[in-house]
Homo-oligomer: A and B are copies of this chain.
C-alpha cells in the first residue's frame, strides 16, 4: 500500500512539479523565466512579498486542484487523469505553464504543443486548441471565483499553429453576470504580433465542484 502511495505521489510530483522539463524549447524557457521572475519571492522569515504574478499549479486531476493538491483516499484506485496531463512523454502532448495576475484579472499560459496533438498535417488540432482555451480560461475563473463549469465556448480560428512552436494563451475577464463569468481568450505568437485564435468563454459558477448538474440554467 505504501508503495502505491509513493507511486501516486511521484506521478503527481512528476506532472505538477517538474517545471521546466528538457523538452521545453528556448522560447518556452525564456517566457517561463520572465513570468517566474515577477512572481512572489520569499523574503526573510518566510514572509511573502506581494508580486504581480503567481503561478497556478497544475495537477493530473482537477479534483486535486479543487482541494489544493491534497491526496484523496477515495480516488486512490482511480485511473482517471486530467485530459491535458494524460501523456507522460515530455514534449509529446500539452506542455504548458500558467501564471495569473489578480490585480489585472489576467491569466497567461505559455503553451508548447507536441507532436501528438496533430490535426491538419504538421499543425495543432482545433480540438487541442479548444482544450487549452478551456483550460486557461477555466483555471483563471477557478482562481478568481472558485468552482465553475464551462457553459459556452466560442472560438474563431484565424491561422493554424505549427506543432512544436511556442504560443501565448491569454485570458481576460470581461464581466460577471449573476452566476455567470464571461472571459476572452487570445492565442498569439510569443511577441504578441500574430493572432492565431480568439475566443469568448462563459462559465457557470457552482456551489460545489461535485455538484455537476444545472449548468446553463440560472440555478
Binding site for B on A (CB under 8 A): 61-63, 66, 75, 78-84, 86-87, 92-93, 115-128, 130-135, 138, 149-160, 163, 209-210, 212-213, 215-216
Specify which chain B residues have a CB less than 8 angstroms from the CB of A156 in the assembled complex. Answer: 151-152, 216
Copies held by the complex = 2
Top 6 A-B pairs ranked by shortest CB distance? A127-B131, A83-B125, A130-B130, A86-B116, A126-B150, A63-B121
Residue of B with least CB distance to A66: B121
Specify which chain B residues have a CB less than 8 angstroms from the CB of A127 in the assembled complex. Answer: 83-84, 127-128, 130-135
Which of these, B86, B120, B153, B157, contacts A155 with CB under 8 Å?
B153
User: In the bound complex, do residue A159 and residue B213 qualify as a contact, i.e. CB atoms below 8 Å apart?
Assistant: yes
User: In the bound complex, do residue B149 and residue A118 qualify as a contact, i.e. CB atoms below 8 Å apart?
Assistant: no
Specify which chain B residues have a CB less than 8 angstroms from the CB of A212 in the assembled complex. Answer: 120, 123, 160
Specify which chain B residues have a CB less than 8 angstroms from the CB of A130 in the assembled complex. Answer: 126-127, 130-131, 134, 153, 155
User: In the bound complex, do residue A157 and residue B163 qualify as a contact, i.e. CB atoms below 8 Å apart?
Assistant: no
> With contacts A153-B153, A153-B154, A157-B149 known, is A125 near B82, CB below 8 A?
yes
Which of these, B84, B158, B209, contacts A215 with CB under 8 Å?
B158
User: In the bound complex, do residue B151 and residue A82 qualify as a contact, i.e. CB atoms below 8 Å apart?
Assistant: no
Provide the bound-state CA to CA distance between A78 and B116, in Å.
Answer: 11
Residue of B with least CB distance to A133: B127
Provide the bound-state CA to CA distance between A80 and B113, in Å.
Answer: 11
